[in-house]
A and B are shown apart, each in its own frame.
Chain A
Amino acid sequence: MSQILKDLLYTKEHEWVRRTSNTRVVQVGITDFAQSSLGDVTYLDIPAVGTSLKQNQVFGSIESVKSVSELFAPVSGKIVKRNEALVNDPAPINASPYAEGWLVEIEISDESELTKLMSPESYESVAQ
């Protein structure tokens, strides 16, 4: 039974979104279900700080030994922070997908997009 945190929002691409203390910035990562399906993550490809994103656009990929998954922007905006530590050692993505395994922080350009994301209850039915 994979873990789903109650205070986050989710996408059907198995990503989570967390609001930060800065109301215009959200933190993004992949869910416990995603990391467990992928297996041991071996490589992370995310764009540079400053890159603009559109909701649902592919903005990077996560690789494991046997598969590669694309990352889809859950919201539109600009990348303001990357988890640099993961580039050298992506292991925290498996060990701690909701905490140390966060991927990027995005400064959102359109608040209303957050309403299109899934609640923990809706996500639960997707993460089987």
Chain B
Amino acid sequence: MSNWPLKTTLSILQSTPGHEGFSLPSLDVPEAPAPTRARAAKPKLPELSELSVVRHFTRLSQLNFSIDGGMYPLGSCTMKYNPRVNELTSSFRGFARLHPLTPDHFAQGALELMFHLENLLSEISGFARVSLQPAAGAQGEYLGIKMIRACLEARGEKRTKILIPESAHGTNGASASMCGYTVLPVRGTEAGLADFAQIEELTRAGDVAGIMITNPNTVGLFETEIQKITQLIHDRGGLIYCDGANMNAMLGVTRPGDAGIDCMHFNMHKTFTTPHGGGGPGCGGLGVSKTLIPFLPVPTIEKNPSGADDFILEHERPQSVGKVKDHYGHFLMMVRAYTYIRELGADGIQKAGRDAILLANYIRERLKPHYDIAYDKTCMHEVVFSDKRQNKNGIKTLDIAKRLIDEGFHPPTIYFPLIVQGALMIEPTETESLSSVEKFCETMIKVAGEALEENAFEKHFKDRPRHVAFGRVNETLAAKQLKLTWKDLE
């Protein structure tokens, strides 16, 4: 077993009293009096020199897989390349050192950027207006449901139920509950689409607030009957929320706002390249139809009706739902998304959607002969397979996933959506070259072959991964012993 990449012990164990990694000027004013209720003792944090800290984090970084290092074919995550010019623009002093409470007059560049970004997103998605306040997709969802609730209450309606397809992402149900709704699950049809007949039945009583739909859905298919669904829900006095996680398939192809959807959240960290950073921050956003405009969170960015400044923040909106996030949202992430959209322009946006769909269909055709495909139809930007075939020989989705790691790929999304047993959801994204996608397919085919052999598990799938710095990590032990800080090491 190799010593490389080099590891590094917990920083607290490398601490040496007196070492320091900072450089501060001497105080140029008198010292303040001692604090009342002072901290009893300095916090027990590591004392390290700058070089020790640099080595520590450099070594940690080398233990990570990343988009810069390899492909993540993760369905539903849209792991496209994070352009570096975005990092340059978001670091400009005019953005990074601007305080959120700066009077509008001195923040015109920021307000202009947000105003334009909202308009760009409106044009791309077909919504009347956009709010950039939500911190991430989950907050965007929550805001959407919150606005739907406010809209219905303004009409004097008190509906307590909301429909959610069984194939939906887990956040959908959680967001609905947070707004006080009860979730009514909707089955999918044999063809993998939302069951219109069931939606019709469940909404007959007129007590359903609406539906939370994902389009394209979580099995990668476009909901052809979307307009029929939105029409029905509207006729019955409800509203429609769309989960925008799969927006990448729609860029330049179709617009959710045109299909009658009332609100849809954006995942800027998926579709619009803001960096994943190991798990966040995300950057949400919510597109809304004309119906929901009065309920937008405050403040909104408006053109200045009079006076010298071009843009103002409007804090007083009588029907606003209030705030879901402190200040205005993840502004420095908005700068990145804006930079990306302006670089691509109309042509680039259209090519992005097109290439994403083409590459996903390439994967579908190449892998169909080897893996059971959940729905054998043209897919959008992602495709769902299952381990049905391999399972007959005792090889499961998890085994396939861990096997791929040794071949240099991050596994696809596994066990989601829940409606497909042993699901393997693959999304290449348009920033991958065809040759890199080909390599991925060839590897998947090789693994499918291994899975059919006699004694397959023993020969090929046991104890994976074998060739990375870490073997299979024991998740059961972690849950049982619950050691969550380094104090637990004593």
- Residue positions of A touching B, CB distance < 8 A: 39-40, 42-43, 63-66
> B402-422 interface mask toward A, CB cutoff 8 Å, 1 = contact, 0 = none?
000000000000010000000
CA distance A34 to B478 in the complex (A): 22
Complex alpha-carbon distance, A43 and B475, angstroms: 13
Once bound together, how far apart are the Cα atoms of A40 and B479, in whole Å?
Answer: 10
B39 within 8 A of A: no
Look across to chain A and name the residue whose beta carbon is closest to the beta carbon of B415: A66
Among A39, A40, A43, A64, chain B packs the most CB atoms within 10 A around the CB of A40
Q: Which of B265-306 contact A (CB under 8 A)?
A: none
- Identify 10 new A-B residue pairs, CB closer than 8 A, beyond the known A39-B476, A42-B479: A40-B476, A42-B476, A63-B479, A64-B476, A65-B475, A65-B476, A65-B478, A65-B479, A66-B415, A66-B475
> Shortest 8 CB-CB distances between A and B: which pairs?
A42-B479, A40-B476, A65-B475, A42-B480, A65-B479, A65-B476, A42-B476, A43-B479
Separation of A66 and B478 alpha carbons in the complex (Å): 12
Instruction: Give Cα distance in the complex from A42 to B475, angstroms.
Output: 10
Q: Name the CB-closest residue of A to B481.
A: A42
CB neighbours (8 Å) of A65 from chain B are 475-476, 478-479
Tell me the bound Cα distance from A66 to B480 in angstroms: 13
Question: Which residues of B (442-490) have their CB < 8 Å from a CB of A?
Answer: 475-476, 478-480
Give the B interface residue count (CB, 8 A).
6
Q: How far is the CA of A39 from the CA of B476 in the complex (A)?
A: 9
CB-based A-B contact count at 8 angstroms: 14
Min CB gap A13→B, angstroms: 18
The residues of B that contact A66 with a CB separation of less than 8 Å are 415, 475
Which B residues form the contact surface with A (CB < 8 A)? Answer: 415, 475-476, 478-480
Provide the bound-state CA to CA distance between A126 and B475, in Å.
30
B478 proximity list for chain A (CB < 8 A): 65
Taking the closest CB of chain B, its distance from the CB of A4, in whole angstroms, is: 22
Instruction: Give the chain B neighbours of A40 by CB distance below 8 A.
Output: 476
Q: What are 9 A-B pairs at a CB distance below 8 A?
A: A39-B476, A40-B476, A42-B479, A42-B480, A63-B479, A65-B475, A65-B478, A66-B415, A66-B475
Q: Point out the residues of chain B lying under 8 angstroms from A42, CB to CB.
A: 476, 479-480
A65 to B478, CA, bound (A): 9
Give chain B nearest CB distance to A45 CB in angstroms: 13
CB distance from A38 to the nearest CB of B (A): 11
Contacts of B480 in A (CB 8 A): 42
* Nearest Cβ on chain B to A42's Cβ, whole angstroms: 4
Which residues of B have CB within 8 Å of A63?
Answer: 479
Give CA–CA (A39, B478) in the complex, Å: 14
Find the B residue at minimum CB distance from A39.
Answer: B476
Question: Using Cβ atoms and an 8 Å threshold, which residues of chain B touch A64?
Answer: 476
Closest A residue by C-beta to B478 = A65
CA gap between A39 and B474 in the complex, in Å: 13
Q: In the assembly, what is the distance between CA of A39 and CA of B475, in Å?
A: 11
A contact residues around B476 at 8 Å (CB): 39-40, 42, 64-65
Assembly CA distance A64 to B479 (angstroms): 8
Residue of B nearest to A67 (CB): B415
> In the assembled complex, how far is the CB of residue B372 from the closest CB belonging to chain A, in whole angstroms?
19
Question: Which of chain B's residues have a CB closer than 8 A to the CB of A39?
Answer: 476
Bound: A93/B479 CA distance, A: 16
For B480, give the chain A residue with the smallest CB separation.
A42
Q: Report chain A residues within 8 Å CB of B479.
A: 42-43, 63, 65
CB distance from B484 to the nearest CB of A (A): 14
Q: Which residue of A lies closest to B475 (CB)?
A: A65
Q: B416 to nearest A CB, angstroms?
A: 11
A40 to B480, CA, bound (A): 10
Which of B415, B475, B478 is packed against the most chain A CB atoms within 10 Å? Answer: B475
Q: Which residue of B lies closest to A90 (CB)?
A: B480
> Which residues of the partner chain B approach A43 to less than 8 Å between Cβ atoms?
479
Complex Cα gap A63–B479 (Å): 10
Q: Which residue of B lies closest to A40 (CB)?
A: B476
**Chain A min CB distance to B188 (Å):** 21
Minimum Cβ distance to chain A for residue B418 (Å): 10
B183 to chain A, nearest CB (A): 15
In the complex formed, the residue of B with least CB distance to A65 is B475
Give the one of A43, A63, A65 with max B CB within 10 A: A65
Q: How far does the alpha carbon of A46 sit from the alpha carbon of B298 in the complex, in Å?
A: 44
